[in-house]
Amino acid sequence: MHEQDAGDSAQKTPPSHPAPARLPARLGWSRSGRWLTGIAVVLVIVLVAGATTAWVVVRKPWPQTSGELQVAGLDGPVQVVRDGAGVPHIYADSMHDLMLAQGFVHAQDRFFEMDVRRHATAGRLAELFGAGALESDLVVRTLGWREVASRELTMLQPATRGALDAYAEGVNAYLKQRSPSELALEYSLLGLTGVAYTPERWSAVDSIAWLKAMAWDLRGNLDEEIGRALTAATVGDKAVSELYPDYPYAEHPPVVEQGAVVRGKFDQGADAHGRALSRPVPGGAGAVQALAQVAEVLDGMGPLLGKGDGLGSNAWVVDGSHTTTGAPILANDPHLGTSLPGVWTQVGLHCRTVSSACPLDVSGFGFSGVPGVVIGHNAHIAWGFTNLGPDVTDLFVERISGNSYEYDGRRIPLTLRTETIEVRDADPVELTVRSTRNGPLLSDLSRLAQTSSEVELSADGLVDQVDGVAAASGTEGAGVSLAWTALEPRPTADALLALNAAEDFDEFHEALRDFAAPGQNILYADTEGHIGYQATGVVPVRGPANDGRTPAPGWRPDAVWTGTTVPYDALPRLLDPDSGIIATANQAVIDPRRYPPFLTDDWDQGYRSTRINDLLRAEEKLDVAAMSRIQLDSFSAVAQALVPYLLEIDLPGGYYSDGQKLLADWDLQQDADSAAAAYFNAVWREVLDATFSDELPEVLEPDGSDRWFRVVADLLPRAHTGWWDDVETDVVEDRDTILRAAMIAARDQLTARQSPNAEEWRWGALHELELRSQTLGESGIGIVERLFNRGGWEAAGGSSIVNATGWDARDGFEVRTAPSMRMVVPLDDLDAARWINLTGVSGHAFHPHYTDQTDLWARGETLPWAFTQEAVEKAGADVLDLQPSD
């Protein structure tokens, strides 16, 4: 990597470049080279040669989970007790040994996932998977995630650095014991093609970098910024207010309904204050084109790093006045993209003697590759996360000329750095990243990721066209830069370790002071009976000409970030509110009329949070089972708004009215076996397409999420508004015309897909969960994909429903995002807690714990969650003793 000022780079970077090559915007792993086809051919030969040989290859990477192993680096003995689901509980005498053992166990279960993640966050996927991974690498290198993580490492407290180093020591101890084929089946497949690949040693930076990927997936309103600008440019300013409605504070109350900032600190007993915002939008055809191209760049990011659609989660906590036991209960289910293995892995971390030197006695969900627990409980407190969704990203339209940009009436040299991306089976690609004071220019990448109208390029041809032009500087006109708080190094890793050891609300509050990105709502309960809430994250303060809702003019000093952030002590928090209930489901945190600091205007519209609050208040007394039932609630708010209108439509009798009859006595619950839910969602998808797709470009077409619930609900009383009219026909359609056509089309579709008998339709048969490995599971080679992917689970719920199995109306009904885990923790008896993971603990295909929890998850069931040593030992199915090596 090389950084230099553009003014000193004449001999290194020419002032202009030829027109850049165009890359296909949606490169799949199947285009990553001929090696995947080679895998398929060799694999068939192996399978034909004998099932025994294949089974040996498959089982070779499975970990030893009982008996005894010597592990380099340990200072004393460590015990790993696994329950029937393979969940490990680790017991050690020191923090060093506890963290080292966690690294060892994570490598046992999921090292290939860890290895791929670190390649992804370093912008090095193309090294493993060829040119098909270049899009992701280009974005990550442009943003410089790895460099930021390296700088964060130097900022950490000694205890955190020690934990990260010990964790890495444990991973490396496992790597030293095993060959690549003994680490993962995926490495065996790579080896079948003649590729000699040996994983690098793990480092502390590898762990920190994954936090950048989570911050990216939960990054806030970047898509909405682009969407508003493109909507205004294509269908007019009025459409922006209709398609991006303001948050309905009166209908869906925010998380915090009391308090204000007083002398720089949030006081939950203070009176309200007011504020005002300005909302300028930079224009120009060049800016609109650049924004559209940046939208394509972001859409091209692979699912491994998230697309920013993992915005939903549920968490709530009630105090003892609402429970059967008189003690608080906390529930959490974060909604993230589906994958195999799932994003979370379960673990218990127990110091045999808890002390200041070894303070952990904690259990919960974490990330493979990262030490500690992210969500869970210790012996004193429990906590859960939902995405706060603060506006921590801004796109700035820049006035670019050559290698300079305009700011405050002056021309300033762009900052340049060069990145070299190694590509499997091809020459390296050189990328020159150009940055303004606001951030790196994403629009430079857009010229490499535009959709090509030409035939798809082979992997080699693709690299030939990219190589040498990835820098693509010297273009006159508009550019688009990205400002993002996560690109400034901050010690978020300190917060995670401190949170694991916190024993009361004050320690909880202090632990989260360093939690910079992604900004989260974090709920709290303790064994003393208290409940609480804390908003976290670094939120920028903008100049008055930047409201955060649309791309801002980067050349104006009054539009850029001021360099200050909302103080942590000014972020909303609660302790023991009078209601005894705190529920957060990504709704607005607090009414801006009482809270001057700007957090965001792009909250979830609040349908889930209002439903959760209604259900909590409807129960006379709550217990663990009742909390679990609420997590499974599949009530459809959009059906509540739309069904009355559908029932009024005059349809031909018999065949076409069969679906309508199902709606007449439907309880609006989207259960997997519901025929009415199947019909309604087929109609809903047709309504969205018929109403909006004739006027909106593809990038703005509705996905059916909470914003579209609100948009359609607001349109329904207006039978003759222009949105109902199909501009591509010679007649003027109204609401009832569109609804009638949608109902007819849905009936025909379900007849073709399921049955001519409406009573036999099933929502779950449309709305299936398919779990896919995000590497070889996306190869495009059927025999390879069948090794790693699993599917066919019928799912209840839907988008923006409490049971949030999200689907994208633009693509079909398949589950795209889901509750990535569910947990319920009663604070009077931690051994009575319940939990479930979307997938199993293991990342090894065909291992008994690969997807063993998915069957339970799909049925809405949970597993017992042992915590105390007595309960863990009673639940133990395997015990592995780790001993120091000589």
Sequence ranges of the binding site for Ca(2+):
225, 391, 394
Determine the Cα–Cα distance for residues 424 and 420; give it in Å rounded to an integer.
13
Q: What does DSSP assign to residue 33?
A: -
Q: Which helix (H) or strand (E) holds 375?
A: strand 375-378
Determine the Cα–Cα distance for residues 418 and 403; give it in Å rounded to an integer.
14
> What are the residues whose beta carbons fall under 8 Å from the beta carbon of 791, sequence distance 6 or more?
768, 769, 770, 771, 772
Q: Output the furthest CA–CA distance in the chain (Å, rounded).
A: 85
Angle between helices 204-217 and 492-501 (to 10 degrees): 90
Residue type present at position 113? E
Of 207, 313, 636, 800, which residue is the catalytic one? 313
In the block, residue with structure tokens 């035939």: 455
Tokens of 258: 């009391």
Listing DSSP states for 109-146 in one string gives HHHHHHHHHHHHHTT-HHHHHGGGGHHHHHHHHHHTHH
If DSSP states are collapsed to H, E and C, what string results for 763-793? HHHHCEEEECCCCHHHCCCHHHHHHHCEEEE
Q: What is the dihedral of CA 590, 592, 598, 604, to 10 degrees?
A: 50
Burial readout 154-168 (b: 16 or more C-beta within 10 A, e: otherwise): eebeeebbbbbbbbb
Taking residue 352's Cβ as centre, other Cβ atoms within 10 Å add up to 17
Determine the Cα–Cα distance for residues 559 and 280; give it in Å rounded to an integer.
9
Determine the Cα–Cα distance for residues 561 and 52; give it in Å rounded to an integer.
62
Burial readout 689-701 (b: 16 or more C-beta within 10 A, e: otherwise): bbbbbebbeeebb
Catalytic site includes residue 313 = yes
Angle between helices 607-618 and 706-715 (to 10 degrees): 90
Q: What is the dihedral of CA 349, 353, 354, 357, to 10 degrees?
A: -100
Query: Residue 89 pairs with which residues in a beta bridge?
Result: 81, 348
Determine the Cα–Cα distance for residues 306 and 299; give it in Å rounded to an integer.
10
Q: Which helix (H) or strand (E) holds 738?
A: helix 735-753
Q: Is 346 helix (H, G, I), strand (E, B) or coil?
A: strand
Sign of CA dihedral 727, 733, 736, 740: negative
Determine the Cα–Cα distance for residues 338 and 857; give it in Å rounded to an integer.
13
Tokens of 230: 């493109």
Contact 739, 643 (CB under 8 A): no
Determine the Cα–Cα distance for residues 418 and 204; give it in Å rounded to an integer.
24
In the block, residue with structure tokens 């609660």: 574
Listing DSSP states for 677-712 in one string gives HHHHHHHHHHHHHHHHTTTS-GGGS---SHHHHHHH
Q: Is 811 helix (H, G, I), strand (E, B) or coil?
A: coil
Q: Which helix (H) or strand (E) holds 592?
A: none
Determine the Cα–Cα distance for residues 419 and 431; give it in Å rounded to an integer.
5
Q: What does DSSP assign to residue 673?
A: T
List the one residue out of 133, 135, 115 whose CA is nearest residue 33: 133
Helix, strand, coil percent content, the chain, rounded in steps of 5? 40, 20, 45
> What are the residues whose beta carbons fall under 8 Å from the beta carbon of 404, sequence distance 6 or more?
6, 411, 412, 413, 414
Q: How far apart are the first and last CA of the chain?
A: 41
**Residues labelled catalytic:** 313
